[in-house]
Chain A
Amino acid sequence: MRTELRDLLDRPEFPGLRRVDLAEGGMVLLLPRRETEVISLQVYFPGGTAYEADQEVGLTNLLLSVMLKGTASRSARQLAQDLASLGTHLSMGSGRHHANLGLQAIPSVLPQALEIFWEVLFEPALEGQELEKERARILEGIKANLDRPLYRAFRLFLEAFYQDTPFRHPVEGYPLTVSRFTLEQVRAYAQGLRAGSPVLAAVGQIEPGEIQEELVARLTDRPRGAPLQARPTDWSETEQVGRSEALESASAWVVIGFPAPALEEQFHGAMLVLDALLGSSLSSRLFTEVRERRGLAYQVGTVYRAYSSPSYLAAYLATDPARQEEAVEVVLNEFSKVTEEGVAEDELELVRRYIVGTYLMGGESSDRLAERLALYHAHGLGPQFGFEVLKQVLDLSPEWIRDAAAQYFHDPVVAVVGPALEKASEDE
């Protein structure tokens, strides 16, 4: 099996990939896939949380929302109808280091879909009435997010974990910031965003020779100006921190997290292993201990958020409030165990296979492939990054895994959202 996995990883991750560098920064990536009937485009610009001052938190998200509300030649309604008539979807996303716009289309309508895509990207109307509508919708959406206990628990965790850095902020912003953005601010931010170096990935049933010229020309001829400037994001690890927030919920929602290596750091592969070992799949350690053996939770798992900046691995679960302390203790104990005892080779081998297999599964969807391709290049990682990391994973030793755990799994940040429990009396 190991040989089979190596053989799979020794081929190009993106076979047939064509890359064209733009004259003044940025690139176009074209990946034809004959076996699919769809086309996905993703374009990433430098932007997002790392480019927003504290009083600008949520500006990227607001801008992207308003961009989808009309162009120089189409009203918001006309834009929606024209997209629907083509069966085409436009999407947007704001992250830590990038803002992205996406397109999903069927091949027969690509020319018309692209025409709309460029209008939205380079000639959005950004007009006052639509700005106000989107502002109102986002403000109500912020409230709706807080209706979800797991979201609140993660927010609490991120605020404690990232302390004074921009990464503690939610991408949608706060009521105080979003309510104050002006149209001039939004337009100025749009200019700065478009002036950055774009990475565009087109994946699916495309003929590179037919669309390459248009994609390159449109991005090369985009309006210029001063690109956005990234803010300082210096961060130092926290000491052990606990935060809690009262909520009249049936369950206590718990997030326990630790620092983790960034994408290019030496322990990144090891952390992928630890994430899978601890919290992915129905036989992960947390699933086995928290749910199967003790019945403490239905939902328990881990997430490893690896960025090109301070990253984290966090466990999360929902449990009976009366057993919340037990749940936290069990989770922390599993992290301690892997730090002290490491992982046996046979268990490690299962995790290696799981990681490689599930990574390949992520490459079936054109949309996810386009995101992966664009993100790797936007971070300067190159097209073989994913497979190279997986090859490292195949060679990682149990000792290396334990070293990674020892380096990162100390001083947890614990966030709990749930009913306030009565404190035990001092005599007990």
Chain B
Amino acid sequence: MGLIFEELVGGPAFLSPTYRAPLPNGVPLLVRPKRDPPLVAVETWLAAGAAREISVPGGTSHFLEHMIFKGTPDLPPGTVDRRVKEMGGYTNAGTSVEYTHYYVVALASRWRDALRLLWDVVTGPALPQEEVERERQVIGEEIARKEDDPEGKLGLLFLAALFPDHPYGAPILGTTESLAGINRTVLETYHRVWYRPPHLVLSVSGAVEPHEVLEAALELAVIEPGAPPEILPLPGPPLSAVQTAHRPVEQAYVASGYRTPGREDLALSYALEVLAAVLGRGRASRLHQRLVEDESLAVSVSAWTWALADAGCLGIRALLPPDRVQAAREVLEEEINRILLEGLGEEELQRARTLLAADLAYGNEEAASQGAMLAEYELLLGDAGEALRYLDRLEAVTAEALHDIAERVLRPEGQAMAVVLPNGGGGRED
């Protein structure tokens, strides 16, 4: 048949070995054998998320995720999870801006059943009409639940400020208004576009033999390729005004950040990760030292990055008393200016790299985490091997390059901010 089962070389020991094969149906298959314990994790990743909802109502990707678990024509609602339990496992899913992923983790002896079941439900869901109405109600409760969560509300506000009037900044769950526009036809059409090659990746990790997995994957039902997706317009500039919400809370929840280029500039993405670690990863980070330790302004602070296809973000989150928000903003501005004026030292840079590398190891002991990481890289970058090169990419980041990138990215016109405050105010805001 000429099928190439390639071993991806290099990388940390916890991702080695990893095998990749492009299945004849256009789906990349990744296999990460891990002998102990006797478990298996099967993942399917689809390039269907809020960013794809250009001409469908907001929340369609997430709604479809809920509906996948309602079974297939051969599996009535409620039976999917029971099948997984019978394998000694559990199943779940998640929807993000650029992807939806589904997974089954089970006893290794049942890997064939797990693979077959996940493939069948993801590629051939029944989408029963009566379940659509029930799920609309459930998702309405999910939206209400998020409204009660100050961190959840903050995230919604911040992304909407960073990517206004753009799918990147739209709520993944949708709104109660947009949910009303989702019906079975919308879901079925959307599924036909996105739950197909080339928008689908399959990974299997755990106590499995790679060639056996490949043989089993070749027997999976063939599916026709999906329709080409619509082109997503580029996002406009972020909103300059601080976005504010009030909730029955006692503390202030603050998110501030800068628009950055996306994954089209991969080297920059890695550099931004290092920059975010210097700024806000752990107690030794600049913002923790200034805001939490030196000035006692914040309870906690962290920095993070997010690289979407053609735009991204360097963000900072802080939890603090409402009457300290303005003072904290001033300190944040000082620290950003310090980076722009003075750059970063090699010792600080190396600390950030060391922390990122160690955290990668700590977070990827489990077969499920390893499989998910590989599948995510394959889906979003078209190359799972990039996951194995992650540590090398970090090492390649220099202080000079970081300074250049900081000057490019940390600019007022690219900044957005959101705050959740107690009812009745309690903090200064613009």
Complex interface residues of chain A between 125 and 156 (CB less than 8 A to chain B): 133, 136-137, 140-141, 143-144, 146-149
Are B144 and A318 closer than 8 Å at their CB atoms? Answer: yes
Q: Across the two chains, which residue of chain B brings its CB closest to A354?
A: B85
Complex alpha-carbon distance, A293 and B131, angstroms: 9
Bitwise, A27-53 to B at CB < 8 A (1) or not (0) is 000000001111000000000000000
Q: Across the two chains, which residue of chain A brings its CB closest to B135?
A: A295
Bitwise, B114-138 to A at CB < 8 A (1) or not (0) is 0000000000000000000011011
> Is B86's beta carbon under 8 Å from chain A?
yes
Neighbour of B37 across the interface among A5, A77, A143, A360, CB < 8 A = A360
A295 CB to closest chain B CB, in angstroms? 3
A143 in contact with B361 given A80-B283, A364-B37 (CB within 8 Å): no
A357 CB to closest chain B CB, in angstroms? 3
Query: Which residues in A have their C-beta under 8 angstroms from that of B12?
Result: 37
> Is B194's beta carbon under 8 Å from chain A?
no
Complex alpha-carbon distance, A50 and B378, angstroms: 50
Bitwise, A221-232 to B at CB < 8 A (1) or not (0) is 000000000000
Neighbour of B82 across the interface among A253, A283, A365, CB < 8 A = A283
Complex interface residues of chain B between 239 and 255 (CB less than 8 A to chain A): 247-251
Neighbour of B39 across the interface among A86, A360, A365, CB < 8 A = A360
Are A37 and B366 closer than 8 Å at their CB atoms? Answer: no
Are A318 and B141 closer than 8 Å at their CB atoms? Answer: yes
> Is B293's beta carbon under 8 Å from chain A?
yes
Are B37 and A147 closer than 8 Å at their CB atoms? Answer: no
Bitwise, B344-370 to A at CB < 8 A (1) or not (0) is 000100110011011101100111000
Query: Which residues in B have their C-beta under 8 angstroms from that of A366?
Result: 365
Query: Which residues in B have their C-beta under 8 angstroms from that of A180?
Result: none
Are A77 and B289 closer than 8 Å at their CB atoms? Answer: yes
Query: Which residues in A have their C-beta under 8 angstroms from that of B82?
Result: 283, 350
A144 in contact with B319 given A80-B282, A283-B82 (CB within 8 Å): yes
Complex alpha-carbon distance, A23 and B247, angstroms: 56
B366 CB to closest chain A CB, in angstroms? 4
Are A299 and B145 closer than 8 Å at their CB atoms? Answer: yes
Complex alpha-carbon distance, A358 and B41, angstroms: 12
Query: Which residues in A have their C-beta under 8 angstroms from that of B333?
Result: none
> By CB atoms of chain B within 10 A, which of A35, A356, A357 has the most?
A357
Are B283 and A84 closer than 8 Å at their CB atoms? Answer: yes
Are A106 and B358 closer than 8 Å at their CB atoms? Answer: yes
A32 CB to closest chain B CB, in angstroms? 12
Query: Which residues in A have their C-beta under 8 angstroms from that of B78?
Result: 283, 288, 292
Neighbour of A140 across the interface among B135, B251, B289, CB < 8 A = B251
Kindly specify which of A244-252, A258-266, A331-339, A408-416 makes contact with the partner chain.
A244-252
Q: Across the two chains, which residue of chain B brings its CB closest to A356?
A: B88
Query: Which residues in A have their C-beta under 8 angstroms from that of B377?
Result: none
> Is A282's beta carbon under 8 Å from chain B?
yes
| Size bin of chain A's contact surface | 35 or more
Are A141 and B293 closer than 8 Å at their CB atoms? Answer: no
Complex alpha-carbon distance, A181 and B81, angstroms: 50
> Is A291's beta carbon under 8 Å from chain B?
yes
Query: Which residues in B have their C-beta under 8 angstroms from that of A76?
Result: 293
Query: Which residues in B have their C-beta under 8 angstroms from that of A361?
Result: 37, 39, 89-90, 105, 366
Bitwise, B127-171 to A at CB < 8 A (1) or not (0) is 000000011011101101101111000000000000000000000
Complex interface residues of chain A between 340 and 394 (CB less than 8 A to chain B): 350-351, 353-354, 356-358, 360-361, 363-367
Query: Interface size on B (CB < 8 Å)?
Result: 71
A38 in contact with B354 given A251-B148, A298-B139 (CB within 8 Å): no
B173 CB to closest chain A CB, in angstroms? 10
> Is B331's beta carbon under 8 Å from chain A?
no
> By CB atoms of chain A within 10 A, which of B38, B284, B292, B365 has the most?
B365
Complex interface residues of chain A between 304 and 324 (CB less than 8 A to chain B): 318-320
A136 in contact with B107 given A283-B85, A364-B366 (CB within 8 Å): no
> Is B13's beta carbon under 8 Å from chain A?
yes
Query: Which residues in A have their C-beta under 8 angstroms from that of B148?
Result: 149, 249-251, 253, 318
Are A282 and B88 closer than 8 Å at their CB atoms? Answer: no
Are A136 and B134 closer than 8 Å at their CB atoms? Answer: no
Query: Which residues in B have their C-beta under 8 angstroms from that of A55?
Result: none
Complex alpha-carbon distance, A340 and B14, angstroms: 49
> Is B36's beta carbon under 8 Å from chain A?
yes
> Is B328's beta carbon under 8 Å from chain A?
no
Query: Which residues in B have their C-beta under 8 angstroms from that of A282?
Result: 69, 80-81, 91-92
Are A77 and B250 closer than 8 Å at their CB atoms? Answer: no
Are A292 and B144 closer than 8 Å at their CB atoms? Answer: no
Complex interface residues of chain A between 241 and 281 (CB less than 8 A to chain B): 247-251, 253, 281
Are A80 and B284 closer than 8 Å at their CB atoms? Answer: yes
Are B134 and A295 closer than 8 Å at their CB atoms? Answer: yes
A81 in contact with B284 given A295-B134, A298-B138, A360-B37 (CB within 8 Å): yes
Neighbour of B138 across the interface among A35, A295, A363, CB < 8 A = A295
Query: Which residues in A have their C-beta under 8 angstroms from that of B321?
Result: 140, 143
> Is A330's beta carbon under 8 Å from chain B?
no
Complex alpha-carbon distance, A249 and B152, angstroms: 14
> Is A85's beta carbon under 8 Å from chain B?
yes
Q: Across the two chains, which residue of chain A brings its CB closest to B321?
A: A140
Are A319 and B248 closer than 8 Å at their CB atoms? Answer: no
> Is A89's beta carbon under 8 Å from chain B?
yes
Are B91 and A83 closer than 8 Å at their CB atoms? Answer: no
Are B248 and A248 closer than 8 Å at their CB atoms? Answer: yes
Are A4 and B91 closer than 8 Å at their CB atoms? Answer: no
Are A85 and B354 closer than 8 Å at their CB atoms? Answer: yes
B327 CB to closest chain A CB, in angstroms? 14
Query: Which residues in B have their C-beta under 8 angstroms from that of A77?
Result: 284, 289, 293
Are B250 and A147 closer than 8 Å at their CB atoms? Answer: yes
Neighbour of B355 across the interface among A5, A87, A351, CB < 8 A = A87
Bitwise, B85-116 to A at CB < 8 A (1) or not (0) is 11111111000000000000111010000000
Complex alpha-carbon distance, A191 and B77, angstroms: 58
A155 CB to closest chain B CB, in angstroms? 14
Query: Which residues in A have their C-beta under 8 angstroms from that of B105?
Result: 361
Q: Across the two chains, which residue of chain B brings its CB closest to A132?
A: B296
Query: Which residues in A have their C-beta under 8 angstroms from that of B423?
Result: 248
Are B362 and A298 closer than 8 Å at their CB atoms? Answer: no
> By CB atoms of chain A within 10 A, which of B81, B88, B89 has the most?
B88
> Which residues of A come within 8 Å of B, CB atoms?
1, 4-5, 8, 35-38, 76-77, 80-81, 83-89, 104-106, 133, 136-137, 140-141, 143-144, 146-149, 247-251, 253, 281-283, 288, 291-293, 295-299, 318-320, 350-351, 353-354, 356-358, 360-361, 363-367
Nearest 5 pairs of A and B residues by beta carbon:
A357-B88, A87-B358, A295-B137, A283-B81, A298-B142
6 contacts between A and B (CB under 8 A): A80-B288, A105-B358, A248-B248, A292-B77, A350-B85, A361-B105
Question: 6 more A-B contacts (CB under 8 A) besides A87-B357, A293-B134?
Answer: A37-B361, A80-B289, A86-B354, A143-B251, A360-B88, A364-B367
